[in-house]
């Protein structure tokens, strides 16, 4: 169980982006975080993984406080992060990216295990990661985070900038991971279709606060309720 309580965090002292966020995420569940640009979605993921500056609040993993730990410790404890953007090591091959994703971890997944989930990466294994297409890079970024065999995966806008058919495929892969491995996913997403398909619950962030909590099916059944928040 990943629990966040009263999290206040940002990048400069005295200028917090998050103004007190609570959430909990259980294994095998998907929690979507939605909101407009600048609402603090990415900062939430960075604060959980120690990349943003925490000013108050706690983050607990299975009841143990992890909020004061350095990023690499938090990641090794079982929280994987796929950052926004390309999220791969340029200049390293696909296989090196995947090996590097597992190097610091006690029970890494070998590249071979990841290739079964992402077959296209197997074909590109000796290519420079920077030479991959946008969709392939996104798959590599997720596979790289999975190489550490995390129990919780934090995804920052995985569908951004890739074509709709690939978003579809990505959704299927993620759904399979959650169902088969009991992975807990915290999904920051602007794409309502992808969020609706995966999420068990949805948090709406506005100005660094949670302003609404909706059960997952609402996203699919009553999109107007969420679109109001997103200003669509």
What is the distance in angstroms between the CA of the first residue and the CA of the last residue of the chain?
Answer: 33
Place of tokens 């962030």: 205
- Which of 81, 132, 167, 204 is in the footprint of another protein by CB under 8 A? 81
Among 144, 151, 197, 229, indicate the residue that binds another protein (CB under 8 A).
Answer: 144
By CB under 8 A, name the one of 91, 116, 119, 126 that touches another protein: 91
For residues 70 and 79, is the Cβ–Cβ distance under 8 A?
A: no
Angle between helices 164-181 and 134-146 (to 10 degrees): 10
Q: In this complex, which beta carbon is closest to another protein, that of residue 31 or of residue 81?
A: 81
Q: How far is CA 224 from CA 125, 188, 204, 206, 211, in A?
A: 43, 19, 13, 17, 16
Choices 2-10, 17-25, 69-77, 218-226; region in contact with another protein by CB under 8 A: 69-77
Cβ-contact 199, 214 below 8 angstroms: no
> What distance in Å separates the CA atoms of residue 79 and residue 153, rounded to the nearest whole number?
6
Report if residue 146 touches another protein, rule: CB under 8 A.
no
Compare residues 154 and 192 and give the one whose CB is closer to another protein.
154
Compare residues 18 and 82 and give the one whose CB is closer to another protein.
Answer: 82
Phi, psi of 103 (to 5 degrees): -55, -40
Listed ranges 18-26, 83-91, 111-119, 200-208: which one lies at the site for another protein (CB under 8 A): 83-91
H or E element, residue 214? strand 209-215
The site map against another protein for 93-122 (x = CB under 8 A) is: ---x--xxx-xxx-----------------
Q: Among 28-36, 142-150, 178-186, 201-209, which window interacts with another protein (CB under 8 A)?
A: 142-150
Question: With contact defined as beta carbons under 8 Å apart, do 17 and 10 qualify?
Answer: yes
* Contacting residues toward another protein, per CB under 8 A: 49, 51, 70-72, 75-76, 81, 83, 87-92, 96, 99-101, 103-105, 144-145, 147-148
């Amino acid at each position: 169980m990943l629990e966040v309580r009263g999290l206040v965090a940002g990048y400069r002292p005295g200028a917090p982006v998050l103004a007190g966020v609570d959430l909990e995420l259980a294994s095998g569940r998907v929690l979507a975080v939605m909101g407009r640009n600048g609402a603090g979605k990415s900062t939430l993921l960075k604060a959980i993984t120690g990349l943003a500056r925490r000013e108050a609040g706690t983050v607990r993993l299975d009841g143990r406080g992890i909020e004061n730990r350095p990023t690499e410790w938090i990641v090794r404890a079982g929280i994987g992060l796929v950052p926004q953007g390309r999220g791969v090591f340029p200049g390293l091959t696909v296989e090196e990216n995947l090996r590097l994703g597992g190097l610091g971890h006690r029970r890494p997944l070998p590249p071979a295990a990841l290739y079964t989930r992402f077959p296209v990466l197997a074909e590109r294994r000796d290519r420079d990661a920077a030479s991959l297409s946008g969709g392939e890079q996104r798959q590599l970024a997720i596979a790289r985070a999975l190489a550490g065999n995390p129990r919780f995966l934090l995804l920052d806008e995985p569908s951004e900038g890739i074509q709709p058919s690939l978003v579809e495929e990505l959704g299927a892969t993620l759904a399979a991971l959650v169902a088969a491995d009991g992975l807990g996913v915290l999904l920051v997403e602007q794409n309502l279709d992808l969020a609706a398909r995966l999420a068990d619950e949805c948090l709406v962030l506005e100005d660094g606060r949670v302003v609404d909590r909706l059960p997952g099916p609402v996203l699919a059944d009553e999109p107007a309720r969420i679109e109001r928040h997103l200003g669509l």
